[in-house]
Structure 1
Amino acid sequence: MAKMIRGLKEFVVPNSLDLDWGTITLLVIFFILATIFVVWTQRPNEESLLEKLKALDLPVVGVGPNVNVSEALETGTQTYPDSPYVIPTDRVPVVIIPNSIINTIKSLPEKKISFEKEVYARHLAHLIGPQKVFSEPILDSIKQDLTRNISKTLDTLWDEVDYAFKKNIETLPEDEEGWKTVPVYGKVLNIVSLLSGRVFVGAPLCRNEEWIQTTISYTINLGASVGMLWKRPWWQRRIFAPLYFRTYHDAHRKAEELLRPILEREIAHGPSEQEAKAGEQTDGQLIKWLLSHTPQKDGNIDVKQLAHDQLTVSLAAIHTTSITISHLLYDLATYPEHVAPLREELESVIAEHKAAGGNGKLSKVELTKLWKLDSFIKESQRINPPILVQMRRYLTSPLALPSGHILPPGTFCGVDAQTTNRTVPYYEASPITHQQAPFDKFDGFRFSKLRLVPGNENRYQFVTSSTESLNFGHGS
């Protein structure tokens, strides 16, 4: 026993330090207290924030940690249409701001009402790692480069669509009647991963099964891990974070391993002469754009951050796109009367393209002619919104509302997208002659018919955000 105690003392305190057991005990106690203090000072303020909001006389809609957000939004917006109210979600209390001041919120600067800090806090990013949620290079690459080159990526994507469907659909076995059973969401995940990867990292990596599974597992497991961690008391989260985020870190390591040789080759040799001509090469361009915006020191780059950036954009592309396409297919099966008109429209646009000398692979211009398809997608998302609360923000300074309430810093806020989807009276905004379906019913061509009204030709498109359509956010 004495030998064990001496060994413990040597482990805790090097032989070079001649300390007695009393001093060692005090050091251990100090270390424990310091650890508790650090953890305590970093505790979340969900409960204190809710009390602050109640003190402002903000009504709270919904009770308990398992509040039904959909029902709370419906009740809250009907009861308080022109004033803010609070929903105590299972993570943080969220102030729902009236939709009447959406444009005011949209115009506020990031330093006052932050999108990035909201994402950071909601995903418990301080427990994950040092990488920035949105690095400057990835933001610049998307805003400046990807947006400007969208049309150039389509030719590349047509080839990848062909490959993705052959790999994921045509290889499925048929039953005795010639039908194939397709696990929709799983197959859509694989297809979207291939398509986004073709633009983000290029071939052959985008077709590498390890890369595909890495991006998919990252997309699925990050949200699940964050959700499980939020269910833990605040003081347990730092303890369980390494366990819950294990798959997250595994994905990061694998992404670094797969990306490193590509990044090193790109840095060493740069784009080929052909690729350098006017940005014609779009295969895996995001890597090149990222590197062009990333500062280098003596030829060295932060591969961890670049891998994180790639996984972040992959998550953004795969998650919402896969959900949208899956709902789209289910709605198409549920309302088959839309199939024939959609096919007729597509065949007409393809025929027109070929007659003009095209190869049938539609460009951005031709895609804008698919009004019915665009409308069907928008209606599907209206009925099945990806997020019920949009324009989510974190206040870094006080926010005065027209109701007279002043929301304190640290408040999480957003707007009710669900009620907008269900109640905006499109038929009153524009005089139309057709019979408008009720908003609790699915009308796949609702928006294409609205666009027939003179002056509405460029309104009500799937990618258009407005105070009438918040599913893409509005200013996010």
Structure 2
Amino acid sequence: MALIELTGYGEAATTKPVLALVAICGILLGSWLRAVLFPHGNAAVKAPIVGLRWAYPARVQYLNNAMNLLQEGYRQLGLFVPLICEEMKWALTQEIPPCKDKWVSVLGFDTVVKLVVHDFARISVASLERNKEWMEIQRMFPENVFRVAIQMRVIPPYLKRISSYLMPASWAVSRNLHNAQRLITPIVEERRRMETVKDPDYKPPNDFLQWLMDEAWNERDGQPAELVHRLLVLALASVHTTSMTATQVLYDIIAHPEYLEPLREEILQALKEDGGWQKTTLTKMRKLDSFMKESQRLNGPSLIGFKRAAMEDITLSDGTVLPKGVHMVVPVVPISLESVTPDPGVFQGFRFYYERQKPGKSNLHQFAMTDKNNMHFGHGKYSCPGRFFAAHAIKILIAHLILNYDFKFPEGKSRPGNLLAHEYCFPDPTAHILVKERDGPWSI
């Protein structure tokens, strides 16, 4: 298999491999985080960490409270939804050029990444929500880390350590960390000071940084340098995985315009019922949830999942022996394609919406749910802990985009083909889309 090639439906585009690295980051990090965050029930297997050990080795051992943080983020989502929506409205004015009564061309994936960065900046460190340097760090840190990680795949083991120190991308990672620590340290120190003086009027900010400070198990974990590492790891996990999926959904909406008005009507009805943006508003968007799930089914981030290596001989219940050292994977995409009928290869945006209309299935077939036929987020104990938070973030982003703008592909172009790098599949980062502001009172 070629290292970089275009696949999927739609017209192929000319791409540069270096631009693909930023998109690969989210997929690699998913398996990395699952390996670190969860204690394995069976010590006979482990999840390989491909390249990341050398790209960002410093703080793997301090991620054991990240699962609690991601789960807390979902529990607090009711408070965050209005804040994220407020930030999204402002971000659209910053990242999409003026396009009243005219079509303008923008890079699809790059625009979505910037919008997601705005949202993450808002909930990660409240006082830095619109700080351009902080947002740029969150955008570039994943790219720099995974440039190193991907390059490590082709370097012999005995050269990996020295090579990791000689790569320009590795130096960029260090600069990102240094600059982030320069921004975050004064904020942490001021919050600690306010906690010490016990000012009755002081109310700790409700953001990821504060949660990390509260979750610190000991004095070392609460040091600014450690908190910075954890914040950036969360950015690694949150920004680009969310951006990749949201871009695929947007491309599919443009490619299948017959779904656009039903989606808009559902969103507006949910907003009307709740009187604005609430957590419950998002759960009412069942057609959008189905559309996202169908888009992921046909454009999943990886062809395979559950990457494991046997650390000793393992005998399965049917007598099958897995020898020590063997690597195991699950064919995630073939399973998801074969699990639906009829026409598993045909895009049907409301496929899962109709499934949920059947008796007893109202709460099944949701985007963030996993089962034996849908393992893009993993499954069971090792499922991605941030998938529910990501699902709602994608809904907010897509809803704001399609209510406020019209989209189409450039003249003579169809849906951009996906980029395939080894087993990883992601949207073409060089593809352009056309956008125009809608007429009417669509301010949400």
Are the counterparts in 2 of residues 342 and 372 from structure 1 also a CA contact under 8 Å? yes
Distance 1:128 1:161, change over 3 A: closer
* Alpha-carbon offset, residue 371 of structure 1: 0.9
Higher mean alpha-carbon deviation, 128-137 vs 384-393, is at 128-137
Structure 1 segment 102-117 matched on structure 2, within 5 A: 109=41, 111-115=43-47
1:310 equivalent in alignment to 2:215: no
- Structure 2: tracts of 5 or more residues without a match: 9-37, 383-444
1:251 equivalent in alignment to 2:176: yes
The corresponding residue for 1:351 is: 272
Distance 1:307 1:292 in 2: 14
Structure 1 segment 187-202 matched on structure 2, within 5 A: 187-202=111-126
Structure 1 segment 416-431 matched on structure 2, within 5 A: 416-425=331-340, 427=341
Are the counterparts in 2 of residues 420 and 469 from structure 1 also a CA contact under 8 Å? yes
* Alignment match of 2:299 (pick from 348, 360, 384): 384
1:401 equivalent in alignment to 2:329: no
The corresponding residue for 2:151 is: 228
* Alpha-carbon offset, residue 322 of structure 1: 0.4
SS at match of 1:162: helix
For these two proteins, the number of residue pairs brought into alignment is 347
Give the letter aligned to residue 59 of structure 2.
Answer: Q
Distance 1:398 1:251, change over 3 A: farther
Give the letter aligned to residue 120 of structure 2.
Answer: S
The corresponding residue for 1:44 is: none
Among all aligned residue pairs of Structure 1 and Structure 2, give the percentage whose two residues are the same amino acid: 26
SS at match of 2:150: helix
Are the counterparts in 2 of residues 399 and 406 from structure 1 also a CA contact under 8 Å? yes
Structure 1 segment 17-36 matched on structure 2, within 5 A: none
1:263 equivalent in alignment to 2:188: yes
Are the counterparts in 2 of residues 128 and 241 from structure 1 also a CA contact under 8 Å? no
SS at match of 1:153: helix
Distance 1:133 1:319 in 2: 22
Distance 2:80 2:199 in 1: 18
1:147 equivalent in alignment to 2:71: no
Are the counterparts in 1 of residues 40 and 46 from structure 2 also a CA contact under 8 Å? no
Distance 1:202 1:311 in 2: 15
Structure 1 segment 78-93 matched on structure 2, within 5 A: none
Give the letter aligned to residue 248 of structure 2.
Answer: H
* Alpha-carbon offset, residue 136 of structure 1: 2.3
Distance 1:65 1:385, change over 3 A: closer
Distance 1:275 1:464, change over 3 A: farther
SS at match of 2:75: coil
Distance 1:147 1:197 in 2: 16
Are the counterparts in 2 of residues 127 and 238 from structure 1 also a CA contact under 8 Å? no
Give the letter aligned to residue 150 of structure 1.
Answer: L
More relative contact order, 1 or 2 (CA 8 Å, 6+ apart): 2
The corresponding residue for 2:142 is: 219
Distance 1:134 1:215 in 2: 19
Are the counterparts in 1 of residues 95 and 114 from structure 2 also a CA contact under 8 Å? yes
Residues 54-113 of structure 1: CA distance to partner in whole angstroms, max 9, x if unpaired?
xxxxxxxxxx89699x99xxxxxxxxxxxxxxxxxxxxxxxxxxxxxxxxxx99616443
Distance 1:202 1:182, change over 3 A: same
The corresponding residue for 1:27 is: none
The corresponding residue for 1:463 is: 368
**Structure (1 or 2) with the larger CA radius of gyration:** 1
Distance 1:146 1:421 in 2: 28
SS at match of 1:465: coil
Structure 1 segment 35-74 matched on structure 2, within 5 A: none
1:364 equivalent in alignment to 2:286: no
* Alpha-carbon offset, residue 128 of structure 1: 3.9
1:325 equivalent in alignment to 2:249: no
The corresponding residue for 1:41 is: none
* Alignment match of 1:138 (pick from 61, 66, 86): 66
Distance 1:110 1:305 in 2: 29
What is the RMSD computed on CA atoms of the aligned residues?
2.9
Distance 1:452 1:378, change over 3 A: same
Distance 1:377 1:420 in 2: 18
SS at match of 1:136: coil
The corresponding residue for 1:338 is: 259
